[in-house]
Every structure is written in C-alpha cells, then in structure tokens.
Chain A
C-alpha cells in the first residue's frame, strides 16, 4: 500500500478513536447511550443527520450516475432532498415529543401494546440491517479497489470500527463521528468542485462543451430520459424517495438527541441545507468526471460508475488528492454504518429486551449492559453476513429499505399521530401488509427476476424497478381498512395525545 494512503487512513482511524474514547467517558447512562442525553445543538444534530444520510452510495454512486447518465442521475438527489420537508412538517416534532429512545416508543404512546412494539422493533431492525449490509459489501469492494486491501480485510476493518464506536461511545461517539464526516465530506467536495472549475478556467461553457465530448450521449447528456425509461417508473421512484426518509428509524431517532423542538427544526433545516449544497456539488463533480475522465475510462474501471469521484480526484490532483478522497469515502462509510448499528441496537435492546422480555423491569445498569452487548452482537453478525455476500449483488436492498420505510413505517407513524379513528389492529395490519408487499414486489420485480443475472432467471412478473407506487398505497390502505374493520374498543383520549404530539404538553399529567 502506498504511504500517502496509509497516512490518511491512520489519521482518520486515530481521530475517530479519540472521539470514541472521549465519548465513552460520557456514556454512562442509557439516556446518554441511546440519545446522547439530548445534549446536541440543532446545528450539530443537523450535521450528524447529514452524515447519517449521505451514504457512500450518494457520495460515489450519484457522481457516477451523473457522469454516466447526465440529467437522470441528478433526479435521484432531488427526491432525497425534498423528503426532508415531509420529515420537518409531519414527523420530526411529534417523534421528539412522544418518544424516548426508539420509534416503538412513539406508537406505543398511543397504543401501549406488546404486539405493536414487537412489530415496530422488527421493522426498524430489518430496515437498519438491510441498509447496513449493502453499505458494508460496497465498502469492502471500494477499499479493495482503492487501497489494494483484500475484500475480507476491508469489511473486517469497517465492521470492527463501527462496532467499537457504538459499543463504547454510544450515540455520542456516533454523532461526533458523523459530524466530523460531514465536515470532511463537504470541504473535500467543495475543494474538488473548485478544482474542476479552475481546470476549465472558470468557464462554465467550456466545461459543458467538454462534457459533451467526453460522453457518448453528446448533446443528449443534458436531456432527461437515459436512466429512467417509463414515466410510471419515474413517478414511482419519486414517491418512494420523498416518503422514505420520514420512515427511516436511524434518521428519526436522531430527533431525541436535541433538547427541544426549536432545535429539532434547526436540525432538519441544517441537514437539508447541507444535503442540498452537497447534491449541487456532486452535480459539478459528475460533469467534471464526464469531461476530465471521460465515459470510456470510467466504464472500464468499474461498470457501475462508482469510481467516478476517485478517478476524477486522481486526474485532477494525482495520487495525493486520490488518497484524500479515498479517505473521505472511508469516513463516509463508517459514519453511516455506525448510525445504523445504533438504530438496530435501540430496536433490539430497548424495545425487545427491556420492554418485551423484561417487561420494563430492568435496572439502569442492566439496560446499558444489554445495549452494549446488542451493539456488539449486531456489529459482529452484520460483518459476518457482509463477508459471506461478497459476490452477491445486494445494492437492490438499499432501494428496498426506502420502500419498506415508506410503505410500512410511515403509514403507521402518520396515522398514529394524525388520525383519530386509527386503531391498534389497523396499525398491525398496515405494518405487516406494507412489509410483505414491498418484499414481494421486489422478489417478483426485475431486481430479482431477470433473464440475465437475477436470482431467478426468468421474466419479471411485475416489471417495475421501483415498486413504491404499488407498495405504499397498500401499506396505507391496509392501515385504514384495518382500522374500520377492527376499531379500537376502548377510546383513547386522542385529543390529549394530539396535544402532546404537537406541543409536548401532557394534558393528562397536568390534570392529575
């Protein structure tokens, strides 16, 4: 391995371990472990949300998608960004007011039932794990290409780092690793964008002309329609993207890490500001890749285009810049997977162990120990899975998580907060139907059923890469119809619940 690379990696690993050491000394209670005891400011939390959200798939994948497909590559980013409005308006504040550590807390505030908690925990767990494994697999392949490490070593390094952060430093370490990642990522993409512009003497028209020369699409590069064929596919993707974020447990539990709703709003606004600027810069980098590196070189190195960012850095600044970008990609991966480990851990140790198995009767010390052990187990098991899945294309799992989040978690969260007639049975039916529908549609769709390289070598039954447009209505309808068929027997005081969800004022406790 090249010495420059080695230096950057050691720097980053040491820096994050110092953060973890510092965090470990402040992570003595369950409250601190799960939510950093609400100690973050809105801006810090916003940076952590951005760090949690911008995965290696965004950093590397979107630059590649733009470089290869032009306009359509950019469309993905827009949906990811606009989704924060849904989070801001309808979900973030109620989640902060109602829950304590997990998403299950939010729903159980209205329907205090064992079944709901188990289901919410399973949903969060599945989403977090399905999101984490592709990240680990991709990072293994990435580090292999960038650093000449073999696949297993790369996965083991990232797997053990994420586990160490969470087990010892809990939410505090995770948050700060994510904040550091956001700062590094934003400064480096900014720097790279400037270099791209200066490379073409700050003349946008020259850049555009060079892009047209660098890609086989020519003039058509800047026109829509190269990635998403049918209108239905495009609309379906757009719906899943905009609704997905509001159902992602690892994003939503971040709203427990701040003190009050003003800080919650500030978090979302900061995050959407950072993410928006980031996507604008990936556009510049995508164009830069098409112009400087060119389509042929890009596709030759890696047919998915995932190496666009690193190749661009190498072409512009040689080995040193490449090493820097590779190190940033590495930080990006560890920050995202650490966030997923903590969200899976919360679902397991808080919801399943503390509430269901121990019926809420565990001491503070036992809870913390249980959380740390679960984090260790989750980190270990996911790493093993990622090691085994080396040769399987698991990227489709990422789109699956967005669809599960939008069709299973989101209907239940929204209807619990906003619909008076929602019932416990409706919640259970909606959640299960949404989950089953998304998984089924994915299995019978072209990701799994594909004549060329699918799991099943045949034509897909439903030819939609993005089945959100079918799965999401099924989740919502299931929840609504279920509530009408099996209405709640005892009427919960919805008005009091709603006031608490929106304002944090607990009318019931005031009355007593």
Chain B
C-alpha cells in the first residue's frame, strides 16, 4: 500500500501543477483579447503582435505539456508495475 500512496501522490501533484499552468495559459488568450485588446495588438518584435505570439505558443504548449506527461508516465508506470506485483503476491 505504501507504493500505491507514493504513486498516487506523485501523479496527483504532477497533474495539478500542469493543469493549473495549462488552464491559466489557455484562458489567458481569450481573456486578454477580450479585456486588453490594445496590449494584444502591440508587436514586440517587428510585425508579429502579442495576439499571434500567444496563439502560436498555445500550439507549442499543447505539444510540450503532452510530451512532459509522456515522460512522467514512464516513471509512474514503473511504480504501477511494482504495485501490481504486490497486489498479486
């Protein structure tokens, strides 16, 4: 049961962190577009505005967070194997 608690805790804390980050990052775009349109229309480097930068970053974020989860799960799966062995014994 000890392994199970450890696994559960590790999974939970990882998911809470990335989920909060993803929600904040995702909802930032529509909220900023809705309430601070002038800021979003500024272009920090050359012609590309913040609106476009954040839009492209959302695609990158989805891929990066997805990949992070994949690698995290590799570790978690090893723990699950351990739990499974215990359960059978």
User: Is B55 a contact of A505 with CB atoms below 8 Å?
Assistant: no
Interface: A59 (CB within 8 A): no
| 27 contacting pairs across A/B (C-beta < 8 A) | A71-B52, A78-B29, A82-B58, A82-B61, A84-B62, A84-B66, A85-B65, A85-B66, A222-B49, A224-B33, A224-B41, A231-B31, A231-B34, A234-B30, A235-B30, A235-B31, A237-B30, A238-B29, A238-B30, A261-B73, A261-B77, A265-B69, A269-B67, A276-B62, A503-B80, A505-B83, A507-B87
User: Is B34 a contact of A235 with CB atoms below 8 Å?
Assistant: yes
A234 vs B40: C-alpha distance when bound (angstroms): 15
User: Is A222 a contact of B52 with CB atoms below 8 Å?
Assistant: yes
Q: Which residues of A contact B84 (CB under 8 A)?
A: 503, 505
Interface: B24 (CB within 8 A): no
Seed contacts A82-B22, A231-B31; 18 additional CB < 8 Å A-B pairs: A71-B51, A78-B29, A78-B58, A89-B15, A89-B18, A223-B41, A223-B49, A224-B40, A224-B51, A234-B33, A238-B27, A238-B30, A265-B69, A269-B67, A269-B70, A272-B63, A276-B63, A505-B87
User: Is B30 a contact of A268 with CB atoms below 8 Å?
Assistant: no
Q: Which residues of B contact A237 (CB under 8 A)?
A: 30
| A window 276-292: CB within 8 A of B | 276, 279-280
User: Is A276 a contact of B59 with CB atoms below 8 Å?
Assistant: yes
Interface: B45 (CB within 8 A): no
User: Is B55 a contact of A74 with CB atoms below 8 Å?
Assistant: yes
| A window 60-115: CB within 8 A of B | 71, 74-75, 78, 81-82, 84-85, 88-90
A476 to chain B, nearest CB (A): 15
Q: Which residues of B contact A90 (CB under 8 A)?
A: 15
Range of interface residues on chain A?
Answer: 35 or more
Total contacts A to B, CB within 8 angstroms? 100
Q: Which residues of A contact B83 (CB under 8 A)?
A: 503, 505
A507 vs B18: C-alpha distance when bound (angstroms): 29
| B window 42-77: CB within 8 A of A | 47, 49, 51-52, 55, 58-59, 61-63, 65-67, 69-70, 73, 77
Q: Which residues of A contact B51 (CB under 8 A)?
A: 71, 223-224
B26 to chain A, nearest CB (A): 5
B42 to chain A, nearest CB (A): 11
User: Is A499 a contact of B30 with CB atoms below 8 Å?
Assistant: no
- Against B, the Cβ 8 Å flags (1 = close, 0 = not) of A494-512 are 0000010011010100100
Q: Which residues of B contact A84 (CB under 8 A)?
A: 62, 66
A74 vs B59: C-alpha distance when bound (angstroms): 12
Q: Which residues of A contact B47 (CB under 8 A)?
A: 208
Interface: A38 (CB within 8 A): no
A234 vs B27: C-alpha distance when bound (angstroms): 10
Nearest residue, chain B, Cβ from A232: B34
Q: Which residues of B contact A223 (CB under 8 A)?
A: 41, 49, 51
Interface pairs A-B: 7 shortest CB-CB = A231-B34, A238-B30, A234-B30, A503-B80, A276-B59, A235-B30, A224-B33
User: Is B52 a contact of A242 with CB atoms below 8 Å?
Assistant: no
- Against B, the Cβ 8 Å flags (1 = close, 0 = not) of A309-334 are 00000000000000000000000000
